[in-house]
Amino acid sequence: MTARHASQLEALLVDNSFDADVYPNEPMSRHTMYRIGGPARFYVQVGSLGALKRLVETCKQTDTEWTAVGRGSNLLVADEGYRGVVITLGRDFRICRYDEDVHRFCVGAGVPLSSVVQDAFHRSLAGLEFAVGTPGTVGGALRMNAGSREEWIGSRVVSVTTMSAEQGLVRRSGEAIEWGYRTSSFSADEIIVECELSVEPADPFFIRGKMEASHARRKKTQPLTYPSCGSVFRNPDGHSAAQLIEGAGLKGHQIGGAQVSEVHANFIVNTGGATAYEVKELIDLVQRKVYEAYGIELQPEVRFLGFA
């Protein structure tokens, strides 16, 4: 940013009427599940739609790079940090309401998905059991269409409201969005702000059974002892990324504090003091070795922030 641009952005960030909490040079290691990452130039938690709109428009006017994050569950931030603005959704985006007449949750994008799952369970509502234990926010889950090939959150979406500097607020039906395996058709400059999720009444014992089975499966198959970003790679069509990585002889392979998990080979864990560079180097190694062994290019699920 030039000095002129910096002053325009900073003028907004120190404006008493700007409904946000602003943290200059905030270590991103505090905001990622990996517990890794250098400082963001500004980390801004916006409290309202108006504040979000002002911030995104100012970033656009000043050519300032920005990104929106949730709980950092699938995020790897460079050791050098990020020179732009990290936006996270606060107060007004953390509201969850249930409409009994149509059996729908209206959920702010900043709400943890796990809390919606629990709310549905307590109301004996089915449809979200597959997401039990998912660590991210609703917004993040929608963007990556969290779930498996059999069950995914996109199939439960009635509508999504997004905001961008170009189009402002846009509300689309779930059917108007392209949902793929761990992908969606939201553009990079769209921030998901709210959605409606459909559920249906069901036997609470049936719901509990599905949730307990899903939770037990996660506990048995996933490395929960160390920080990680969850699955690092998407499963290629007809293949398991974990099996390919293990077949390439990389299970347990370690670079510094970063390790291909010995529990699940599609997890790279921070065994203590890992740097973003070490995790990235291990990701690159896994991609290279799997391609050499099988001719398959693994596609990362993890988002990279601040890397050249």
User: What was the pLDDT predicted at 158?
Assistant: 98
Structure tokens at 302: 């993890």
Would you say residue 190 has pLDDT above 60? yes
User: What was the pLDDT predicted at 16?
Assistant: 95
Residues 215 and 227 in one domain: no
Residues 143 and 197 in one domain: yes
User: What was the pLDDT predicted at 219?
Assistant: 83
**Domain of residue 32, CATH code:** 3.30.43.10
Encode pLDDT of 42-51 as tens digits: 999 999 999 9
pLDDT averaged over every residue in the chain:
95
Number of domains in the chain: 3
Sole residue written with tokens 């059996």? 103
Tell me which residue of 37, 49, 33 sits closest to 87, measured CA to CA: 49
Residues 158 and 214 in one domain: yes
Taking the C-alpha atoms of residue 103 and residue 3, their distance in angstroms, rounded to an integer, is 52
DSSP 15-67: -TTS-EEEEEEEEGGGSSTT----EEEEEEEE-SHHHHHHHHHHHHHTT--EE
Residues 102 and 215 in one domain: yes
Residue 162 confidence class, pLDDT cut points 50, 70, 90: very high
Q: Which domain holds residue 265?
A: 223-305
DSSP 154-188: GGGEEEEEEEETTTEEEEEEGGGS-EETTEE---T
Residue 178: active-site member: no
Q: Which residue in 73, 231, 261, 303 is the catalytic one?
A: 231
Residues 139 and 156 in one domain: yes
Residue 244 confidence class, pLDDT cut points 50, 70, 90: very high
Residues 162 and 228 in one domain: no
User: What was the pLDDT predicted at 4?
Assistant: 47
Mean pLDDT of 252-258: 98
Would you say residue 1 has pLDDT above 60? no
Residue 231: active-site member: yes
Taking the C-alpha atoms of residue 167 and residue 78, their distance in angstroms, rounded to an integer, is 31
Q: How many CB atoms lie within 10 A of CB 243?
A: 12
Q: Which residue in 104, 228, 301, 303 is the catalytic one?
A: 301
Residues 125 and 211 in one domain: yes
Last residue of some domain: 92, 113, 144?
92
- Collect all residues with Cβ–Cβ distance below 8 Å to 244 and sequence separation of at least 6: 236, 290, 293, 294, 296, 298
Would you say residue 3 has pLDDT above 90? no
Residues 86 and 103 in one domain: no
Q: How far is CA 222 from the centre of its chain?
A: 18
Would you say residue 258 has pLDDT above 90? yes
Residues 101 and 205 in one domain: yes
Mean pLDDT of 162-170: 94
User: What was the pLDDT predicted at 6?
Assistant: 53
User: What was the pLDDT predicted at 92?
Assistant: 98
Structure tokens at 253: 């392979």
Residues 110 and 208 in one domain: yes
Encode pLDDT of 113-156 as tens digits: 999 999 999 999 999 999 998 889 999 999 999 988 889 999 99
Residues 246 and 176 in one domain: no
User: What was the pLDDT predicted at 220?
Assistant: 84
Q: Which residue in 41, 71, 156, 182 is the catalytic one?
A: 182
Last residue of some domain: 220, 249, 270?
220
Encode pLDDT of 269-280 as tens digits: 999 999 999 999
Would you say residue 71 has pLDDT above 60? yes
Would you say residue 264 has pLDDT above 90? yes
Last residue of some domain: 183, 201, 220?
220
Rounded to 10 degrees, the C-alpha dihedral 51/31/223/260 comes to: 110
Residues 170 and 127 in one domain: yes
User: What was the pLDDT predicted at 308?
Assistant: 84
User: What was the pLDDT predicted at 196?
Assistant: 98
**Domain of residue 114, CATH code:** 3.30.465.10
Residue 182: active-site member: yes
**Domain of residue 275, CATH code:** 3.90.78.10
User: What was the pLDDT predicted at 210?
Assistant: 92
User: What was the pLDDT predicted at 187?
Assistant: 95
Would you say residue 230 has pLDDT above 50? yes
